[in-house]
Structure 1
């Protein structure tokens, strides 16, 4: 029983059943200990894939995801996935090999100070210098990852510590998560009083609702209060998409009804959201007439960017449960007529601003394809990469559970989609998992098709291919006078042939009238499938709130903003040139 074998048993005691990794020199004792154990190790093809797969596993389940890598480049390749987990509050433990303690500080082969390198992007970093430290380190790492606002924790494990005798160590005993305090009664009274006197209240829900296991409490609060609601990117699904009071996503690419309602409300009830810049637009002009009730687990978020007239800091589920009865009782008692008129205005606006899917022409309209796919696979877990397709999914997929929408929110990491999807599929083997990617993001971790094929994971991949870095191209069109710089991807490989080389079935579609057949083929074909979808390179994501504008100043050609959009994109002398031509 050495340190590595003790660690394997400790992981099993912590409830770990799957871990994602890639072996190397300094982590080899741990991999030797894995041999013959009950833990299921998934061999990815790049350490970033391991971090994103553990990330997707954790997002889909709420359990701690585990990834493993060797020292040096192995550890540094985990960094993006660790940072993503930190910024989106994903519980994760990353285990990295390290050179022997006697070699640390000597610039030994594959030595990196991963402990120091990751300190800004983890809840805590541990460096084990003796096998006797392992029980405390492992227990604390998992407790910290789960407790309070979840996040990643790093364990850096020197090779000699893995090899040290551990026969004297007791069997591992997990630590309980830290209890979460309830808000004081006075905070509930202040919040209830503000809600009672509001004539135009609005609920603004975020990712903290799922993190706090408060989805049902949130829905009960909305139903009881009958207050219109908007959601952030990470909050989608906290209220079912089809719910009458759900106005949709707010923010830069949010629904027009949601954004306009936020700008007009007189009270903003913030539930597990943090006033992120992509949600608020120009912060100084965000919800300018509104007082704020802010409910959040993390005290650091309350008042950080917007003053809270009522601060309700504590367990979200208990806070919502405590506020629902008095708010429900208030529904008819005060401001009944004004409140009903406000609700009617918001719901009429929602009907007026509903997206249309009858785009003319023979080419594939991505929003229509995604909306149809959400109808065909309503219970699917959807993993998104980053770019235009990410926003189209957020706008048009009908989510009914926030844990079924896996997306790199705060970090916006391209290459997230495929490995996160395989992680989610391993966590939920009987659930349909769909990855929506773009041609730019897909190639960043395309090697994980080998992992999907090896483990026969039935992940379905929808690859929206516009032969460009679409979101960057859109911004260059609108805000950089159409000076298209380094966004051309017209030399993409044949994605169907590429998938076939990995042993993944594939189908190509470029016509709107072929979409239905293609979606049925993808969903009904056993095993992994890639659907390569060609879309118009000029297609943009609308609405769009330009930088340094408030959320009421949206641009959308379908809503009569064509003149404003044209003014942003004056013709240039090179407009008629082929901006996307590849140099000879």
Structure 2
């Protein structure tokens, strides 16, 4: 079809998606996009029919997270578009490349409060990297090409294309080639050699250097360069949650995750280092819990592709606006001799040994931390690990042994409950031959469990570990610690039968409640073929520790061993 000269707008759009090497679409049809869905009959781009538009966007996020390629979404106008808002905002927070195509009423009806009209341009303006509305069929191909370019270059992010119905039916010429020419959008990826020299000269002076690694490293495909740099200079590393796996969790120089639920060793290193090199992290408030007292003794170098992030939260002594891969390559090329940091390394190692992550083992109840450790063993640390949001998310970050970049698929910046199930589905579509495990709480599960319908339909072999404590765990924990144990609206007094719910979706279900046999029971559940919902009963009073209270300095931790 795309070989024809004259195509309608829907055909032009799909032909343009093929030129962008789009493999599949996540979407939900409706009146304004019916011409587009009709044209899909003639194009080899499958559409994954989710059961809610929010699920479509989260699935596209999961796909984008593990591949680095833009996830593509198609939804209809009005409520279809507004249902996608949460996912778009989530992708913006976590810098994930998406192209979200929203249907719109015909151009003559825009602004008239027509049926299923919504001002999606205005609504998404603050939560997209850019948005377009196609008003002329001759602009359609250019807009699609620019949308993919914007979404995937510089700091990645979501782009919305709003497509009026009459444009999707208008006729236009198919153009083979388009040059990107956006004078106002010229992201800088090349690091200034002058600034890189400053970074490395300060490293030579430092006695207690520390690397802070954010998701920008994996987004730039700079893992190899980072690991080479770490091994060459023998500098300890702290990772943000979104960067877990960039350096293997069990690497001797990896101090673990920093921030609110980070390790004691990581947070103390952040508090006592004399030189901090931040590569690809935005100093989010869950990491820099008290900006005024963050890394108080340190000179700070901040390498980030987005100049808006440098100096926004934490003062920066050496700013470097660049792609992490280019910056690390140039840092290695300078070949400055490694310093002697043995005393500093010994200090960091001593904290790791004396104050590790821990939990009280017991045979009276199933400990969620133990569940995560067992799953790590079953999967040999090699699965794509997806979480929803809440306590289980932090236990996974703390206790799963991550080994490779992009391994953890989770909602970081927005903290979106309901993310886990559809994101896991998107990750599995991206890598059908890789193991995908989804951890989810009983609260988040009930927000998007309708997407279970996709599992049987597409025979997706995903294992779901549902940690059921009958409460909104993180809310419950904060209410106990900071609100006098007044559990306002955080306890589920009635719950669905999750096993019957799984059965209704033609998915195997296993309920585990025996702490004495939890290891063998989990192994048996993971050995089952096809998708499986594994419900694990855990105690409601189990807390995520250690913890830095909101606004407290990183070194003031609660629940340290």
Question: Residues 319-468 of structure 1 correspond to what in structure 2 (within 5 A)?
Answer: 319-324=327-332, 326=334, 329-331=337-339, 336=340, 339-356=341-358, 359-377=361-379, 378-468=381-471
Counterpart of 2:236?
A: 228
Between the aligned partners of 1:328 and 1:343, the Cα distance in structure 2 is 19
Are 1:83 and 2:86 matched, yes or no? no
Query: Which segment drifts farther, 21-30 or 302-311?
Result: 302-311
Equivalent residue number for residue 486 of structure 2:
483
Residue correspondence of structure 1 range 548-563 to structure 2 within 5 A: 548-556=551-559, 559=561
Structure 2 SS opposite 1:330: coil
> In the alignment, is the contact (CA less than 8 A) between 2:470 and 2:495 conserved in 1?
yes
Deviation at 1:322, TM superposition (A): 1.7
Q: Structure 2 matches for 1:255-266, cutoff 5 A?
A: 255-266=263-274
> 1:174/1:75 Cα in 2 relative to 1: closer, same or farther (>3 Å)?
farther
- Residue among 164, 170, 178 paired with 2:175: 170
Give me the TM-score of the superposition, normalised by structure 1: 0.92
**Using the alignment, how far apart are the partners of 1:133 and 1:322 within structure 2?**
40
Q: How far apart are the structure 1 equivalents of 2:333 and 2:148?
A: 36
- 1:196–1:327 Cα contact (<8 Å) kept: no
Q: Displacement of 1:8 after TM fit?
A: 1.0
Task: Find 2:260's aligned residue among 217, 238, 252.
Answer: 252
Q: Within 2, Cα distance between the matches of 1:174 and 1:373?
A: 48
Question: For residues 202 and 24 of structure 1, do their structure 2 counterparts lie closer, same or farther at Cα, with a shift above 3 Å needed?
Answer: same
Partner of 1:101: 107
- Is 2:357–2:546's contact at 8 Å kept on the other side of the alignment? no
- Name which of structure 1's ranges 292-301 and 234-243 shifts more when overlaid on structure 2: 292-301
The reply on whether 1:190 has 2:198 as its aligned counterpart is: yes
| Equivalent residue for 1:154, pick from 136, 152, 160 | 160
Residue 474 of structure 1: aligned partner: 477
| Residues 52 and 419 in structure 1, CA contact (< 8 A), matched pair in contact too | yes
Instruction: State how far apart, in whole Å, the 2-side matches of 1:174 and 1:232 are.
Output: 37
Mean alpha-carbon deviation: is it higher for 285-294 or for 436-445? 285-294
Cα pair 2:66 2:406 within 8 Å, conserved:
yes
Q: Deviations over 1:156-210 (max 9, x none)?
A: 00111001112x2324658599674422221112111111111111111111111
User: Which residue is 2:3 aligned to?
Assistant: none
Alignment of 1:37-116 (within 5 A): 37-116=43-122
Per-residue CA deviation, residues 57-86 of structure 1 (Å, 9 max, x unaligned), is: 000100110011000100000000001111
Q: Is this contact kept in 2: 1:195–1:327, CA < 8 A?
A: no
* Partner secondary structure for residue 96 of structure 1: strand
| Shift of residue 348, structure 1, vs aligned partner | 1.8
Q: Work out whether 1:282 is the aligned partner of 2:282.
A: no
Following TM superposition, by how much is the alpha carbon of 1:300 offset from its aligned partner in structure 2, in angstroms? 1.4
Distance 1:117 1:553, change over 3 A: same
Mapped partners of 1:380, 1:121: distance in 2: 31
Deviations 1:332-384 (A, max 9, x none): xxxx2xx2111111012112222345612321110111012112112111111
Contact 2:424–2:438 (Cα < 8 Å) also in 1: yes
Q: Where does structure 1 lack aligned partners over 5 or more consecutive residues?
A: 560-584
User: For each residue in 1:255-288, what CA deviation from the matched residue of structure 2 results, as whole angstroms up to 9, or x when unmatched?
Assistant: 0111111111111111111111100111111111
Matched, 1:243 2:251: yes
- Shifted more, 423-432 versus 506-515: the winner is 506-515
From 18, 26, 41, the equivalent of 2:32 is 26
Q: Deviation per CA, 1:90-143: give whole Å up to 9, x if none.
A: 000000110011111111110000111101000111101121110111111011
| TM-align CA RMSD | 1.5
Counterpart for residue 297 of structure 1: 305
Question: Number of paired residues?
Answer: 551
* Counterparts in 2 of 1:178 and 1:210: CA distance versus 1, 3 Å: farther
Q: Check the 8 A contact 1:232/1:249 in 2, yes or no.
A: yes
**Aligned residues of 1:390 and 1:436 also touching (Cα < 8 A):** yes
For structure 2, the 5+ residue unaligned runs are 1-6
Does the Cα contact within 8 Å between 2:200 and 2:336 map onto a contact in 1? no
Task: State the secondary structure of the residue aligned to 1:403.
Answer: coil
* 1:510 shift after superposition: 1.2
> Secondary structure in 1 aligned to 2:48?
strand
CA displacement at 1:325 relative to structure 2: 5.0
Query: Alignment partner of 2:547: what SS?
Result: coil
2:363 aligned counterpart, secondary structure: coil
Q: How does 1:509-548 map to 2 (within 5 A)?
A: 509-548=512-551
Deviation for aligned residue 1:525? 1.3
Q: CA contact under 8 A between 1:10 and 1:172: conserved in structure 2?
A: no
Change (3 A) 1:291 1:18: same
